[in-house]
A = this chain, B = another copy of it.
């Protein structure tokens, strides 16, 4: 069977190992330098991943960062970037050092990249550039999108994901490795669109959640204390703005209305750190206050996305490539993040 090496043993990197392991792929799970405790826990008698709460399949080879060697990568058909965005440069360094052949590079890591101080782009071109420096060919990259609460994948609860690659045959090849009755895989050739949607949905989630809690007697904690009408308008407007940005970044608008856009946005709004930050902003907190208070020490991916997006937006607004009037939620979020101003909901803008 195929051999798959996963870089990063956090909840997402580990969870995605489950369907492939259940398909009898040879699995190697390599922890980041911050993951030693996770590897130790999974190597224990009960093999339970602390973040997932379920035992990992016994067939998975567990490796600490310091123990990593060329042998772990030997014969790998797929190397999968399973880290969250702050771990990406570590993971790419390791792949550069240890991987001397041409596996398929899958990625669950999501985010944006800034280049030349004024261009925002998706991760695949950056990764391709980093890993193929001096090589003649580009790397076959497969992005993994769609709504994926990691714990649910590990628990075997029904999940549908999207694998995207510029070369659809490569995405199909990966699909055969991961497809399970409880892990349904669709494929698309719109890698850039999928990566754009996956990154930007984290930012939009902050805005939607903020609309829930805006107003004096609203805390957004339960449906009864949420502005439902405003949030619905925000949800719809957010998809429209995602489609504009997705197209601008080189993807297809349609991808935003598929599982990797709409589906993922729906689940991200329902729970998680981006949503928590949004509730704080809606209640009147500044980003700085929320990040120094209730969300201290937490990485909120939508904030990172907002910072990276701000760079390219500035150029695009100046050149006329994008019209800020069509992006009221994005502009309000970027202002709140970059200038640390209060986020104000403004349904009259759309």
Residue ID in chain B nearest A234 by CB atoms: B263
Bound form: Cα–Cα A322–B149 in Å: 34
Q: A44 an interface residue at 8 Å Cβ cutoff?
A: no
Q: Is the interface of A mostly helix, strand, loop or mixed?
A: helix
Binds B, one of A72-80, A107-115, A116-124, A151-159: A151-159
Contacts A236-B262, A263-B235; A228 near B153 (Cβ below 8 A): no
- Complex: chain B residue closest to A153, CB-CB: B229
- Asked if residues A228 and B270 are in contact (CB atoms below 8 Å), the reply is yes
Q: How far is the CA of A27 from the CA of B323 in the complex (A)?
A: 40
Which residues of the other chain, B, contact A236 by a CB distance below 8 angstroms?
A: 257-259, 261-263, 266
Take A236-B262, A347-B184, A348-B184 as given contacts and tell me if A267 and B152 are in contact as well, using a CB distance cutoff of 8 Å.
no
A230 is an interface residue with CB less than 8 A from chain B:
yes
Q: Does A293 make an interface contact (CB < 8 A)?
A: no
What distance in Å separates the Cβ of A263 from its nearest Cβ neighbour in chain B? 4
Q: A interface, how many residues as a size bin? A: 35 or more
A264 close to B (CB within 8 Å) = yes
A140 within 8 A of B: no
Chain B residues positioned under 8 Å from A271 (CB to CB): 223, 228
Which among A226, A228, A345, A347 has the highest number of chain B CB atoms within 10 Å? A228
Cβ contact within 8 Å between A235 and B223: no
- Interface: A147 (CB within 8 A): yes
A160-B233, A184-B233, A228-B270 given; 20 more Cβ-contact pairs under 8 Å: A146-B232, A146-B233, A147-B228, A147-B229, A149-B229, A152-B227, A152-B230, A157-B230, A158-B211, A160-B347, A184-B348, A223-B270, A223-B271, A226-B270, A228-B271, A232-B263, A233-B259, A235-B263, A236-B259, A236-B262
8 pairs across A/B with beta carbons < 8 Å? A152-B230, A158-B214, A159-B233, A160-B229, A184-B233, A184-B347, A229-B267, A232-B266
